[in-house]
Amino acid sequence: MNEKITQFNDKMNKTMDSLSGELATIRAGRANPHVLDKIRVDYYGTPSSIQSVANVTVPEPRMIQIQPWESSMIKVIEKEIMTSDIGIMPTNDGKVIRLVFPELTEERRKDLVKDVKKKGEAAKVAIRNIRRDANDHIKKLAKASEVSEDEQKQLEDEVQKITDKFVADVDKVIDEKSKEILTV
């Protein structure tokens, strides 16, 4: 039975990983190469990440520099960045593409914090849904007489403890990201 609890624990871990990935793409006034993670460029007919076709560096706190390995990729990468939702106009000098991140306004920072909190709430809902599925599974086992009432209660308590731990982790991650965004 513990392997089932481990399975639900793994699902909650995946929810946390997903949240961390989403939060990494939110820019907080500093240049973060992860904002490019969702962008795909056509590399000889294959959709590829920018990191797989170019060297991506952060030479300054508010600048990302993209140096494609093939000069023919500059226009392709630039076009994909322009059509993406990161909201920054790329500049290029024929060899290197630069993305300069403007300072965030106070209003924009507050909007980003709201967005972060929404993502956190969505992660908590997903975790609670996993808890519900786990409890339903435990109740089915009890109904089929595979576990006793005491074992059922013990398993449900264990699932609740795991859920509480993950919800606290989500809160911690959201607080850290919010502080990062609000720090000027």
Mind listing the pLDDT tens digit for each residue in 128-138?
999 999 999 88
CA–CA separation, 94 and 2 (whole Å)? 58
Angle, to 10 degrees, between the axis of helix 149-182 and the axis of helix 106-143?
A: 170
DSSP state of 133: H
User: Is the confidence at residue 177, as pLDDT, over 60?
Assistant: yes
| pLDDT value at 164 more than 90 | yes
Give the three-state DSSP class for 140: helix
Q: What is the share, in percent, of the chain residues with pLDDT greater than 90?
A: 20
The hierarchical CATH code for the domain 33-100 is 3.30.1360.40
User: Residue 71 has which token pair?
Assistant: 């000069």
Q: What percent of the chain has pLDDT over 70?
A: 96
Residues 108, 115: Cα–Cα separation, whole Å: 10
| pLDDT at position 29 | 63
CATH number of 2-24+105-182: 1.10.132.20
pLDDT at 128: 93
**Is 33-100 the same fold as 2-24+105-182?**
no
pLDDT of 13 > 80? The answer is yes
Is-above-0.85 flag for pTM?
no
pLDDT at 149 over 60: yes
Average per-residue pLDDT for the chain: 85
Supply 111's token pair.
């909007």
- Identify the DSSP state of 63: E
pLDDT digits (tens, 9 = 90+) for 86-128: 777 888 888 888 888 777 778 888 888 888 899 999 999 999 9
Domain ranges of the chain: 2-24+105-182, 33-100
